[in-house]
Chains A and B, each alone.
Chain A
């Protein structure tokens, strides 16, 4: 057992941190980037590709790097630290993950190769309007005539959907179950919008849109879809952890420097104690995130699903505790868009509502409390 990143993992963290700092040295840079389409920095995306970061999760045969979950988690944490709006989770982890799990050899080599090279941005369209975190998407229905598949319906929100070069769509199959399809944006109608954290999502309307089945046509892929969603949740938790680390650091720095009543704020114990509690929450969350990330390597989908619920609940609780306190202890300045802690709270909230919020994970865990005597870490 070992909770410490090894030298190579540490080097990866430093490299990614260094690269992100060239673009997001301060929060102003992030503000400028999200103010304009496509809502992230294409140049940075290209440099992430050059560094091999976009291909991290994929096998070398598919044009990737073949790294493990811990490495991907490190990247997500670093993205979270600077609130990077790049669609790494949506495009690489989620949509890329679906292709890697379900595509044919040719599809994988083609799509993942171009994704890793930075030539193709993906988005997963897997949520019906009003739906909540299900691997079945009945907002979009698939039809087949001969070999020709078409999709009809609406997916919303599609995170990163407006800029994507290719959509990975979940749809209800004619004979039941849920399938996956590759769809060109030309075949659909897309309406992009801005989420609460200023990242981008879209509404995608399918109207007998031509679609290519991912993997074997007509096959029910619900189980793989669920597992990839769980992996994305765990990586989303890594990203949220990065945000919260920044929030705690910013809050500590602020308490030491902000003067009121002629003294710095850290003179007031009522405030330092609240900062201590934020730190405690953060440490617990870090433990859960590291643990959940490491469970992926074992490869058991049930274990990963359980870990995703557990870390999802922890992050939901910690996200609110740390985010709300970070804003409160900063006072008015944190309410401004020019200051990162408040935007961080928005980002963690967006991640949670996209991937699964606290109530959702808690209710799933509550259903299962009778199935075990106690929960063990190892």
Chain B
């Protein structure tokens, strides 16, 4: 056992730190650092800069822009990006559909989609969840029926994050209602400008518009836009949801949020109770960071690590706990959440309530914390 980074990894980290702080515009990084909302254009601009530097999709196969890094290097890349306030590459593109197409796609699909996906020329949305299929995703009902070479899709997806920006959506659809529910699911790539696709906004408790309903009415999808074979969708979805071991817990971002809070609410840091809450959170975050390092530092085979669930569970809890502290420190100033920009209340305090409310999602999406507990108790503890 040994704590220090190897010289190669230390040098790697320095190089990342340098690239992230010099290549990505300060204004974009400031937006992230201050916890303000990024615009569509800022997200696209930042990902294109990263892609030009070979930093957008390092975990993809090398022929499609990947870097052949170790898990530890990927971890350092991810942490340094968060530390510098660089927007993370759009997860739907970089972490979800990209690796899926690289693994299961046809050569044509790879050539058509992968470069555009890496460069965010296509903005992907994730169309998995439905009103009656959340944690129990396999019970989804959106149907795709064969018609000549095409599939005809009908149904409704929901919770589609940033679907208002989506160019394409990767969906799970039911292609065979007769077989066992998992076996009848397939994955289709759907152009969101196709006739019959309708995106409707959902307003969340923080007042923002980040999720949508997506309706499909007789949408025709060419047959060559199915990923894998009919009925293979569930396997592909499990690959997509399970192939993340790096970055499941937003350690860097949460550490940064807490550090920022300490400096912004500096006048409240004299209160011993506040200091104790900060100290406790810092300690828990250190344990989380170390656990993430333990998971990545000694693994090169790329298989999903069961401890990913541990990281997701604890990572979301701590992310939420920091937002709770911010709200408590803001106090009455937090009421000014929707006040004008010339409000005398400080920005961090005004954002504290919406951020607190928004982050309740962290323990629901991407496999709720109950689902993670289920995975831990079943697959790790054998209960």
Q: In the complex the two chains form, what is the Cα distance from A366 to B262 in whole Å?
A: 12
Residue from the list B262, B293, B297, B313 in contact with A373, Cβ < 8 A? B262
* Chain B hits for A280, CB < 8 A: 310, 313-314, 376
Q: Which residue of A lies closest to B3 (CB)?
A: A294
- Tell whether, in the assembled complex, residue A313 and residue B383 are in contact, meaning their CB atoms are under 8 Å apart: no
* Chain B hits for A363, CB < 8 A: 272, 276
A377 at the interface (CB under 8 A from B): yes
**Interface members, chain A 275-296 (any B CB < 8 Å):** 275-277, 279-280, 283-288, 290-291, 293-295
**Interface members, chain B 348-383 (any A CB < 8 Å):** 370, 372-374, 376-378, 380-383
- Tell whether, in the assembled complex, residue A277 and residue B307 are in contact, meaning their CB atoms are under 8 Å apart: no
Q: Which residue of A lies closest to B293 (CB)?
A: A377
Q: Which residue of B lies closest to A252 (CB)?
A: B381
B5 at the interface (CB under 8 A from A): yes
A123: min CB distance to chain B, Å: 30
Q: Which residue of A lies closest to B13 (CB)?
A: A378
Residue from the list A275, A291, A297 in contact with B377, Cβ < 8 A? A275
Q: In the complex the two chains form, what is the Cα distance from A280 to B307 in whole Å?
A: 9
- Tell whether, in the assembled complex, residue A314 and residue B287 are in contact, meaning their CB atoms are under 8 Å apart: yes
A1: min CB distance to chain B, Å: 5
Q: Which residue of A lies closest to B288 (CB)?
A: A284
Given A6-B1, A290-B1: A374 in contact with B279 (beta carbons within 8 A): no
B285 at the interface (CB under 8 A from A): yes
* Chain B hits for A285, CB < 8 A: 287
- Tell whether, in the assembled complex, residue A1 and residue B376 are in contact, meaning their CB atoms are under 8 Å apart: no
A9 at the interface (CB under 8 A from B): yes
Interface of B is mostly: helix
Residue from the list B2, B310, B378, B383 in contact with A1, Cβ < 8 A? B2
* Chain A hits for B313, CB < 8 A: 276, 280
Q: In the complex the two chains form, what is the Cα distance from A75 to B127 in whole Å?
A: 52
A312: min CB distance to chain B, Å: 10
- Tell whether, in the assembled complex, residue A295 and residue B288 are in contact, meaning their CB atoms are under 8 Å apart: no
A3 at the interface (CB under 8 A from B): yes
- Tell whether, in the assembled complex, residue A374 and residue B376 are in contact, meaning their CB atoms are under 8 Å apart: no
B259 at the interface (CB under 8 A from A): yes
B306: min CB distance to chain A, Å: 10
- Tell whether, in the assembled complex, residue A366 and residue B276 are in contact, meaning their CB atoms are under 8 Å apart: yes
- Tell whether, in the assembled complex, residue B259 and residue A366 are in contact, meaning their CB atoms are under 8 Å apart: no
- Tell whether, in the assembled complex, residue A256 and residue B283 are in contact, meaning their CB atoms are under 8 Å apart: no
Number of A residues with CB within 8 Å of any CB on chain B: 50
* Chain B hits for A295, CB < 8 A: 3
- Tell whether, in the assembled complex, residue B3 and residue A375 are in contact, meaning their CB atoms are under 8 Å apart: no
Q: How many A-B residue pairs have CB under 8 A?
A: 151
* Chain B hits for A365, CB < 8 A: 279-280, 282-283
B361: min CB distance to chain A, Å: 20
A266 at the interface (CB under 8 A from B): yes
Residue-wise, chain B 288-310 has the 8 Å CB interface mask toward A (1 for contact) of 11110110011000000001001
- Tell whether, in the assembled complex, residue B298 and residue A2 are in contact, meaning their CB atoms are under 8 Å apart: yes
A367 at the interface (CB under 8 A from B): yes
Q: Which residue of B lies closest to A2 (CB)?
A: B2
B275 at the interface (CB under 8 A from A): yes
* Chain A hits for B9, CB < 8 A: 1
B284 at the interface (CB under 8 A from A): yes
- Tell whether, in the assembled complex, residue B284 and residue A284 are in contact, meaning their CB atoms are under 8 Å apart: yes
B162 at the interface (CB under 8 A from A): no
Residue from the list B256, B372, B383 in contact with A256, Cβ < 8 A? B383
Given A279-B376, A290-B294, A373-B259: A3 in contact with B280 (beta carbons within 8 A): no
B64: min CB distance to chain A, Å: 29
> How many of chain B's residues touch chain A, expressed as a range?
35 or more
* Chain B hits for A188, CB < 8 A: none
**Interface members, chain B 161-178 (any A CB < 8 Å):** none
* Chain B hits for A291, CB < 8 A: 3, 286, 290
- Tell whether, in the assembled complex, residue B373 and residue A277 are in contact, meaning their CB atoms are under 8 Å apart: yes
A305 at the interface (CB under 8 A from B): no
A71: min CB distance to chain B, Å: 10
B153 at the interface (CB under 8 A from A): no
- Tell whether, in the assembled complex, residue A314 and residue B376 are in contact, meaning their CB atoms are under 8 Å apart: no
Q: In the complex the two chains form, what is the Cα distance from A2 to B284 in whole Å?
A: 21
- Tell whether, in the assembled complex, residue A276 and residue B381 are in contact, meaning their CB atoms are under 8 Å apart: yes
Q: Which residue of A lies closest to B286 (CB)?
A: A375
Residue from the list B6, B279, B372, B380 in contact with A362, Cβ < 8 A? B279
Q: In the complex the two chains form, what is the Cα distance from A376 to B283 in whole Å?
A: 10
**Interface members, chain A 338-373 (any B CB < 8 Å):** 362-363, 365-370, 373
Residue-wise, chain B 151-194 has the 8 Å CB interface mask toward A (1 for contact) of 00000000000000000000000000000000000000000000
Q: In the complex the two chains form, what is the Cα distance from A70 to B381 in whole Å?
A: 27
- Tell whether, in the assembled complex, residue A1 and residue B3 are in contact, meaning their CB atoms are under 8 Å apart: yes
* Chain B hits for A370, CB < 8 A: 262, 269, 275
- Tell whether, in the assembled complex, residue A2 and residue B1 are in contact, meaning their CB atoms are under 8 Å apart: yes
B29 at the interface (CB under 8 A from A): no
B214 at the interface (CB under 8 A from A): no
Q: Which residue of A lies closest to B252 (CB)?
A: A374
Q: In the complex the two chains form, what is the Cα distance from A313 to B282 in whole Å?
A: 11
Residue of B2, B284, B307, B370 with most partner-chain A CB within 10 A: B2
Q: Which residue of A lies closest to B287 (CB)?
A: A284
11 residue pairs from A and B, CB less than 8 Å apart: A2-B298, A276-B374, A276-B377, A280-B310, A291-B286, A293-B1, A313-B283, A366-B279, A367-B275, A374-B255, A375-B286
Given contacts A2-B297, A5-B1, A273-B370, 13 further A-B contacts (CB under 8 A): A1-B9, A3-B294, A3-B298, A272-B381, A280-B310, A284-B314, A291-B3, A365-B280, A368-B279, A374-B255, A375-B255, A376-B289, A377-B289
Interface residues of A (CB under 8 A from B): 1-6, 9, 70, 252, 255-256, 266, 269, 272-273, 275-277, 279-280, 283-288, 290-291, 293-295, 297-298, 310, 313-314, 362-363, 365-370, 373-378
Sorted nearest first, the 6 A-B pairs with minimum C-beta distance are: A287-B290, A272-B377, A365-B279, A284-B287, A366-B275, A276-B376
